[in-house]
Amino acid sequence: MTVTRFAPSPTGYLHIGGLRTALFSWLTAKHNNGKFLLRIEDTDMARNSEEALEAIIKAFDWVGLDYDGEAVYQSKRFDLYKQYTEQLLEEGKAYKCYMTREELDALREEQMAKKERPRYDGRYRDFTGTPPEGVEPVIRIKAPQEGVISFVDGVKGEINIAASEVDDFIIARADGTPTYNFVVAIDDALMGLTDVIRGDDHLYNTPKQIVVYNALGFRIPKFYHVAMINNEQGKKLSKRDGATDVMEYKTQGFLPEALLNFLVRLGWSYGDQEIFSLEEMIELFDPKDINKSSSSYNLDKLLWLNAHYIKNTPNVKLAELLKDFGVDVVEHDKLEMLLDATKERGKTLVELAEQIRLILHTPTEYDPKAVKKAFKGEAKEILTDFIAMLQTWEKPLHLPSDYHAVLEKIVEEKGIGFGKIGQPLRVSLLGAMTGSGLDEIMAIIGVDETIERIERAVATIE
């Protein structure tokens, strides 16, 4: 059975790079009817944040990436890690190192002066003498001293690293707390991981973890190291570019479906297809198809996808989502008409909410530039005649088509172009030269409100 995981550290919020890794891992598990596990790597007690942890869980809930079983917390497994440390010591595969910080700094300065790569020199590897007094030892694992550490990366191909590049790294600090590469290897093995998908900033952690796997007799999983997401200039993604808290995307009015669709295409493709439902992602995704090269964050693409998903979201669901953006139209008697008129114009839920407010709220002021352009010449007369026509119209005025007929009539009777009525009418109804179709707006607010708004505008025209 395929088993994947996502293992965030609660020292900060979940960013989109992490969410993409989680998505790739989740899709791999789902595609193979396997398991997707969540592990919280919270061994850094000084930097852990309960708020960040809650934000990570909340982000998972928002995008709908469910995980199997309970989340595993490394902070609750220290006794387990200690057992494996003791096992390696007893088997002679690890040892106590009494090197002081001063000695280590001096060694590094000496190596750098010789233009050598700084590394521990193994001076306590086979130490049998009397331990120096007053020094709490760290525990180092015995890394192989010759040969090659090899593994096949599912994205990058075969990786060969000389064993000499990996020194006897620390697996437990002087205070007994275990180190990252040690606990990651143990947890991945004990949780039954078959595939480890992560950013390629972890690529050179892999040889160290393989050393741990081999020392403990664990099976080594398949690794996939995914290239980073760059900004549009090809540089590392910053907060300004979009490397922000995932929940900020919710605040900005993005739909989780759009964000996941956007992320799956950052480093993976299926022909020329751009839009994928979650079901299609599960069916088509294969980690072996992950691109080797870095991908570029493109906000315009994300906005385009979000607009697509907004247009295709049922109006009842949209109405519920809009509550978070200060617009409650769930009980509006013309809900369908209102959202059909506006959702083509909103790339985000924030923009959609603004379009709805524009229609539902009577303007209290008018955009000066729009006034200068629209309220001139015959505008006052045309608007006044339009009011009269609405008041005396013999047929019911309910649908946009009903109001469109009135617009056509005044254009015909006055012998004017549509702009002569369209521009001043739009500013009268919305206060600006923007918004949905005029016939839709009037049908939504009704004939009485339409007349009232026009009369209010006419009163301002000199």
Which residues participate in catalysis according to the annotation? 239
How many Cβ atoms are within 10 Å of 65's Cβ, its own excluded?
21
Helices within 361-436 (DSSP H only): 368-374, 379-392, 400-414, 418-430
- Helix 400-414 with 418-430: angle, nearest 10 deg: 130
Round the CA-based radius of gyration of the chain to a whole number and report it.
32
Q: Is 91 left (phi over 0), alpha (psi -120 to 50) or beta?
A: alpha
221-224-226 Cα angle (round to 5): 155
- Between CA 35 and CA 31 the distance in angstroms is 10
Q: Are 166 and 210 in contact (CB under 8 A)?
A: no
Location of structure tokens 């760059």: 230
For residues 78 and 183, what is the distance between their CA atoms, to the nearest angstrom? 9
Structure-token pair, residue 435: 């918004």
Q: What backbone phi and psi angles, to 5 degrees, belong to 102?
A: -65, -40
Alpha helices in 122-217 (DSSP H): 180-190, 206-216
Query: How far is residue 348's CA from residue 354's CA, in Å, rounded to a whole number?
Result: 10
End-to-end CA separation in angstroms for the chain: 78
Q: Are 140 and 171 in contact (CB under 8 A)?
A: yes
CA distance linking residue 317 with residue 336, whole number of Å = 11
149 Cα distance to chain centroid: 34
Query: What is the residue whose two structure tokens read 């922000």?
Result: 244
Identify whether the C-beta of residue 154 lies closer than 8 Å to the C-beta of residue 39. no
Q: 398: which residues sit within 8 A by CB, 6+ positions away?
A: 443
**239 belongs to an annotated ligand binding site:** yes
Q: Which residues are annotated as a binding site?
A: 239
Return binding residues for ATP.
Answer: 239
